[in-house]
Every structure is written in C-alpha cells, then in structure tokens.
Structure 1
Amino acid sequence: MGLVRRWPVPVTLYLAVLLVVTDQLESFTSNTAQILVCVALGVAGFQAGWRATAVAVAAAIGATAVNIADPGIALTVNAWMYSVLLPVFPAVLGAYLRSSAGRLEERDVTPDALLAAGGVAITVLSTWTSWHSGTQPVWVVGLLAVVGGLSLGIARRFPGLVFLLQGVLLVSADTYLNDAVNTCVILTLIAVGVFAMRVASWPWTVAAYFAGCLLTAIAVVGDDTDTTPFRVGVLMTLVATPIAIGRYLGVRQSAAAAERLRAEEAARAAVAQVRADQLAERERIARDVHDIVAHHVGAMVLRASAARYTAPDGPVADALNDIRETGHQVLQDLRDLLDLLRAPEREPHLLANPADVVRESAERMAAAGLVVDLDLDPATDQAPLIARTSAARIVQEGLTNVLKHAGPGTRVRVTVVTAGEGLSVEIRNGRPPTGIERLPSSGRGLAGMRERVRALGGTLTAGPDGEGGWLLAATLPARLPSGSAA
C-alpha cells in the first residue's frame, strides 16, 4: 500500500491476486485483502485513466466473486451484484473526486443556510411521529433525520458527497423505516438537483440521473407494484425535473461568472491601455525634450567652450566657464529627467548632498549677478533626506525666480534652518534695481514649489515683503503625511 499512490493499478492487480490466493488458502487475510483492494481501486479511479481503471476493476470483480462464492456453490444473483458493486463503487468515487464540482467562489452562505433549514424542517416535521415505529432506537432515527436535513447545507460545496449520503439514508429508510421513505426521496431529489447545478460534466450528470432513478425506484417500487411503461416514464420524468432545474441554474451561474470575468478583463485592458498611452506620451515628451532642449543646450555649451580660447583670462573667461559648467549640469539633469520619463517606476536618486546643492546654487546665482547671503544651519544635515532634498530644490527655484524677476544686482538672503524635526526655508530679496531685463519665464516655478511642499504636508507662502522686495517662505515636515506616497 505504500506504493499505491505511485502505481495504483499494478497494486490493485497484485492485491486481486493476493485476494484469490488467500481465499483458496482459507486464510482470514482475505478479508484484509478485500478491503485493501477497494482502497486501491479508489486511488486508481482518482489517478489513473479510465482504461487502466477498467482493467483494475475487472480483475477486482473476478477476485471478489471468488472470495464471496462458497466452495461448491454457484454464484447467485445477489452474490454477483455484490461482486460487481463492491469494486465499482470505490473506483467511481475516486473518479468523481478527480473531476467533481469546481470550488464554490461565492461567499454568501444564505442559500446554504436556507437549504439546511429547509432540509431539517422537512425531515423532522414529516417523520418525527414515526421515529418510534422502526427497529432502531428513537434517538438514532432522530439523529439521522436531523443530519440528513442539515447535510443539504453543504450540498453546494460537496454535491457528490451529499448525494451519496442521501442515497444511503434512502436505502436505509426503505429497509428499516418505511414511513420515512417519501421524505428521503424528496431529499435525494434535492441533492441530485444541486449536483446537476454544481457539476458541469454531462457524463457525471447522466450518472447521477440514472442513480437517482435507481434510488427512487427502490423507494417507490414494492413487491406488489405493477410496473408499467407509464409509471416508468413518470418516475424518470420525476428525477429529470430537478436535473433540468439544476442544469439551468448552473448554466445561468456559469454565464454570470463568465460575464464578470469579461468585465474584469475589460477593466484590466482599459487600465493597461491608459498606462500604455501615458508611457507613449511620456516617451514623446522625452523625445521632444531631447531633440529640442538638449540640442540647444549642447550647442550653447560647445560655443561657450570654444569662446574660452579667445579670452582665456578675465571676467569674460569666468563667465564663459560658468556657462559651460552650468550647461553640463543642465544636460545631466535633462538625462535624469528623460530616464524618469521613460521609466516612471524608477525612483530618482539624489546623487549630490542637498547642502552642497544649496551652496552651489547660491554661488551660481552670485556669479550671475545676484548678491547672495546664505545662512545654512549645520544642524540641517540631521533632517530627513526628503526634507533636505526638497529644501535644496526650493532654494534653486527661488533664486532663479529672483534672477528672472528682479535681475542682477539684487540682494538676496537665503535662510535654511531646522524647525522641529523638519526644515524652514526663507528667501528674501530686496528692491530690484531699475531698468532690469527680465528673462523668459513659464510661470510654473511657484506652482511647482507649492505642489512639492503640499505633497510633503508643508506650507509655502510667497508675496511682497512690504519694503519693495519679495519673500518666499516654506516649512517642510520631517515625515510624509499619512496616505501620501513619496
């Protein structure tokens, strides 16, 4: 039996031979071999193909017939029936478990509760007056009645098992308690209907139909019953009715499940299409930025580098050198931006120290003509990286705005200090000199800073300082607000 899962059919054939040998030796081991043959047949029905299983069943039927027959006495009809049913039943049960109903995805237990309650009501109310009339104790009959009714509550999840249980109860009632047979027939018909609803396989449905016809015939056909074609037709129609209802409900449920699946697939496809459109638009923007902006900035850097050779020393050379270095930095920033546009799932990494970025921005704006006073608190190095990075970008944008709107010669004071666990940034410029030449501006710088600060849960104010200048102030918390994404 340790090999039955790996080779169920050979093990069954071996046990069939063992059964015949032990029977001929008149050993009590034959009873054990008979049980093991049935177990092996169940495994064969579950794992092996139908041809191999049929071979194993045939061998088991022969061995069982030899075991049941008494020496010198011919096999009777009952002996043949048991010889066939005993091996066939576990094989069929194993095959059913392999291809039975799919897992019930519905989480609502209301139908199950209604089936269980209805089953108990039918069994108890229609049989309790006759519980004492059978050969079994009243408590045994009552327990079986309650269990038979409650079993309908799991019929949708284990349709084959419940159908089998109802069949056993019907046969038992026909043998020991005839007054409960009609109730058991009703429960069996309900079970076969649920079976047809949950098991989509037509072969299994047909098998359940003939099994239902056989069970119903056992219950309603007695020794003195006159069997006519009309009565046979009525009985077969009686069993076909729950089968038809169950199949109809099963098809409706399958259609609804397929419709839900199509809707989910359509929703996923729509999301994927939107994502593809967004990526395509990002790619187009990245291509335009590369072809237009990067081209012109690269040309500017090359011309500044070439012009340095005509004026190797003096303020002009310093200005050209600053233009060249700034252009290189712009190209690097553009490359980072293009990488982010083309792969948005990648998180941008700040390669430079934010404090160094602030100092570099102040030096670059001073070289461009602003008078910059920088007050950078050393304690800001202890602030979270995301706050320091945002502060550096705000300083960059703020100084650029001063240069654009106030012009060279304007005095600017930049203050970056700790505020609790976060940071406070203040950029204050004085009255701009007269006759400034304003640089081109998109008007998006201040809006971008507001969006950056809002994403961090901070505050930003900007406006005239009352003395002819302009004040930009921002507070950046140490941590993102709840529910935000970095």
Structure 2
Amino acid sequence: MPADRSTALPAVRPLLPDVLLACAVALVAALADLYGPDHRTAFAPYWDIALAAPLALRRRAPATAAALVAAICFATWLTGVIAVAAAPAVLIMLYSLGAWERRRWLLALALVVAESGVIMAVARWTPHGRQWLTALMATGTVTAALVIGLYVRTRRAYLASMIERAETAERDRDHQARIAVAEERTRMAREMHDVIAHSLAVMITLNDAVAATAPEGPIRETVTQASEVGRQALSEMQRILGVLRGAGPADLMPQPGVEQLTDLVAIARSAGLTVELSISGEPGHLAPTTQLTIYRIVQESLTNVLKHSRNVRRVTVTLIHRENRVRIQVTNDGEPATTANASAAGHGLAGMRERTTLYQGRFQAGPTRGGGWEVLADLAVTDPATAA
C-alpha cells in the first residue's frame, strides 16, 4: 500500500539551503550591529550569530531549532542585549514549524511562547506610549508567520494527494484494461473451440472414415495424410487456446448465431428497452463464424445502449441480406454517450471494428443527425477461413 504523501515527508531534507540561510541572517545582523546607528554592545554580533545558527536545522529538526532560538532570545532578554537577528530568526522558525511540524500541541506551545516573548520584549524596550500598538503589530506578525507555514504544508499535502489520486486512477484504468483484454481472450478461446476446433474434429473424423473404407492406393494415402495434418492443426489449436484462456476455466457452451438474435432482443426488452428486430433478404448458408460475428456485433451494440445511452425510447436492429453481404444497423434515439462513457466503451467498439475488418467489411459508430446513436457494419458473408 503506498505511503500517505500528506504525512510521509521526505526522510532527508535539504541541509545546504538552510545553512546558507543561517549564514546570511547571521552576516546581515552582525554587520548591522557593527556599523548600524543603534550599536550598543560589542557582544551583540555574537548573540546574532547564536540566534541564526539554529536556522540550519529548521527543516531537519524544527522543534529543536525552535527551542534553541527561544532559549537564546530569553537569554538576550535577561542580559538586556538587543539582537538584530532576533526578529527574523523567530519569524523564520515559526514559519518552519508551521510548514514541517505535525504535532499540534507543539505548534500551539510555539505560538504561546512567541506571544510571551512579544509581551516581554514590548514591556522592556518599547516606550510606554507605543506599547499597545507595537504589541498588536508584533502579535499579528508572529501569527501570520505560523499561519503561512501551515498553509504551505497544507498546500504541499494537497498537491501530493492529487498526484497520488492521479496515479491510483491510472493504475485502476490499466487494471480495467487488463480485465477487458482477459475477458476478450477468454471469449475468443471459447469461440475458437466451439467453431474452428469443432470443424477440424469433424474434418478429421470424415477423413478417417474415408481412409478406413478406401482401398489401398494414392487416394487412401492422401486422405490419411490429410487426417494427420488435421490432427496437427487441432493440437496446435488446443495449445493456442491454452494460451488465450490462461489459468482460468473457459465456458465451452455452444456459441450463438443468427437464430439466437430473437432471444438476444428479448433479453434487451426485459432490461427495459423497446427493441424492434427486422431481418430482410435471403440469408442463404452462413458459416458458424459469420453468424457468431453478426450476433456479437448486435450484442455489443445493445450492451452499449444499456450502459452508456440515456433517455432511450426505442432501439431498432436491422439485418439486410443481399447476395454475398449482410448489413447490420443498430440505432437508438437516446442521448449520445458523454466523453467519459464513450471512452469506457472503447473496448467494445474496437472489438466490433476488428470483427468487421476480418470479414472485409466497413464499420462506423457515432451520433445521428436527429439525436441518438448508430452502429453500422457491412460484412462479407464469405467465411474468412474459406476465403483464405
């Protein structure tokens, strides 16, 4: 299970930027003590350096660094030294605590200590006429520093959470794609077993019968050789089916054809759709694989209507047989699928397109002019195995 990015902060935090920040605060404060107009004691630069030093640990150990800054500030108050680095060190530490410290009781304690320091500093060094205003401004400043740190931490946690959600969504999408592929492979294995493997078994049986009754000679030898080739093909087919099925068992029930379209439409009607089935023309002899392709295209089209269309009042399924081709048209008058739903149905549309291409056909699916959705497939009824 992935770690929670909102609470699991990096184990190793950058040290060099914090060291450089501490050095910069110490240098500026020391120079201000040495050359500024408010220079009061020769020891002030050392206090400034001591106050700036804990800033190097502000992200690696924010609580320890804050305690050191508080202790040094209290020492300067006791000795009466006005350190230039006191204000920036306190504000930086409060910000760092808000941004990196997760213990709420410690954050509350830091705010209380900072406010106590403000009161003590104002009482000792601020003239009486300006104490209330100075205390109010200092209180707002230290509170703002802590609040800004908390906001930065919350924002960082929010961004980490969004990244994790995106990664989780991507993993779920890939998982669903793998499931869809596995289901399609299982269905392909089932269809190959019931149609192609069955046809091979029948061919082998007929050849064996001819070989058993034919007299010795070239005919018997040719038929026997044909039976052996058929057995090899059947063995190879079984090996391919094992790869397609994977570890899961496959359903080996007989596969449906054109005659089962009535049952399919009845199932769709029981789900609440108003479906009309129209078959015209003379179908002639259709190979089992061709009938299965027609059935699957109609089945997938009706499934997409149930899953992705809204406010559907009527669905029309039309089969038109003419010479050596068959035209399949499934239309509905509902609202077209949204972009998200259309994306989710992408595997079904891709499967129908592949089945149509296998039969030298044309496939298209999309919204109609008057509203609704239409699936149109035009297939050659010649069995592709025979054509090959």
Q: Is the 8 A contact 1:126 1:183 kept in 2?
A: no
* Superposition deviation, residue 187 in structure 1: 0.5
* 1:213 aligned to which of 115, 129, 134: 115
Local SS of the residue matching 1:179: coil
The aligned residue for residue 258 of structure 1 is 161
Render the CA deviation track for 1:54-103: whole Å, top value 9, x for unaligned.
Answer: xxxxxxxxxxxxxxxxxxxxxxxxxxxxxxxxxxxxxxxxxxxxxxx742
Q: Identify if the C-alpha distance between structure 1 residues 113 and 277 changes in structure 2 by more than 3 Å, giving closer, same or farther.
A: farther
Q: Is the 8 A contact 2:22 2:52 kept in 1?
A: yes
* Superposition deviation, residue 295 in structure 1: 1.3
The reply on whether 1:275 has 2:178 as its aligned counterpart is yes
Could you tell me how far apart the structure 2 residues matched to 1:336 and 1:117 are?
72
Render the CA deviation track for 1:263-284: whole Å, top value 9, x for unaligned.
Answer: 2222222222332332233223
Q: Identify if the C-alpha distance between structure 1 residues 114 and 272 changes in structure 2 by more than 3 Å, giving closer, same or farther.
A: farther
Q: Identify if the C-alpha distance between structure 1 residues 151 and 329 changes in structure 2 by more than 3 Å, giving closer, same or farther.
A: farther
Gaps of 5+ in 2: 1-6, 248-384
* 1:125 aligned to which of 23, 31, 52: 31
Structure 1 residue identity aligned to 2:69: Q
* 1:187 aligned to which of 89, 100, 105: 89
TM-score normalised per structure 2: 0.51
Q: Identify if the C-alpha distance between structure 1 residues 224 and 251 changes in structure 2 by more than 3 Å, giving closer, same or farther.
A: closer
Could you tell me how far apart the structure 2 residues matched to 1:110 and 1:266 are?
37
Structure 1 residue identity aligned to 2:32: S
Could you tell me how far apart the structure 2 residues matched to 1:235 and 1:246 are?
17
The reply on whether 1:236 has 2:139 as its aligned counterpart is yes
Local SS of the residue matching 1:309: helix
The aligned residue for residue 359 of structure 1 is none
Q: Identify if the C-alpha distance between structure 1 residues 215 and 224 changes in structure 2 by more than 3 Å, giving closer, same or farther.
A: closer
Structure 2 residue identity aligned to 1:123: A
Local SS of the residue matching 1:103: coil
Render the CA deviation track for 1:378-399: whole Å, top value 9, x for unaligned.
Answer: xxxxxxxxxxxxxxxxxxxxxx
* 2:232 aligned to which of 322, 325, 329: 329
**Relative contact order (C-alpha < 8 Å, sep 6+): which is higher?**
2
Could you tell me how far apart the structure 2 residues matched to 1:248 and 1:204 are?
17
Could you tell me how far apart the structure 1 residues matched to 2:63 and 2:224 are?
86
Local SS of the residue matching 2:82: helix
Q: Is the 8 A contact 1:171 1:218 kept in 2?
A: no
Q: Identify if the C-alpha distance between structure 1 residues 159 and 339 changes in structure 2 by more than 3 Å, giving closer, same or farther.
A: farther
Render the CA deviation track for 1:194-220: whole Å, top value 9, x for unaligned.
Answer: 111223443332122112223444444
Q: Is the 8 A contact 1:173 1:184 kept in 2?
A: no
TM-score normalised per structure 1: 0.42
Q: Is the 8 A contact 2:41 2:81 kept in 1?
A: no
The aligned residue for residue 104 of structure 1 is 10
Could you tell me how far apart the structure 1 residues matched to 2:18 and 2:94 are?
15
* Superposition deviation, residue 252 in structure 1: 1.7
* Superposition deviation, residue 339 in structure 1: 2.6
- How large is the Cα RMSD of the aligned pairs? 3.9
Could you tell me how far apart the structure 1 residues matched to 2:78 and 2:106 are?
27
Local SS of the residue matching 1:133: coil
* Superposition deviation, residue 325 in structure 1: 2.2
Q: Is the 8 A contact 2:48 2:86 kept in 1?
A: no
Could you tell me how far apart the structure 1 residues matched to 2:8 and 2:50 are?
24
Q: Identify if the C-alpha distance between structure 1 residues 338 and 238 changes in structure 2 by more than 3 Å, giving closer, same or farther.
A: same
* Superposition deviation, residue 324 in structure 1: 2.5
Render the CA deviation track for 1:206-245: whole Å, top value 9, x for unaligned.
Answer: 1221122234444444399869777665553332121121
The reply on whether 1:247 has 2:154 as its aligned counterpart is no
Who wins on radius of gyration, i.e. which is larger?
A: 1
Aligned residues: 242
Q: Identify if the C-alpha distance between structure 1 residues 319 and 123 changes in structure 2 by more than 3 Å, giving closer, same or farther.
A: farther
Gaps of 5+ in 1: 1-100, 345-438, 443-486
* 1:202 aligned to which of 104, 114, 132: 104
Q: Is the 8 A contact 1:282 1:342 kept in 2?
A: yes
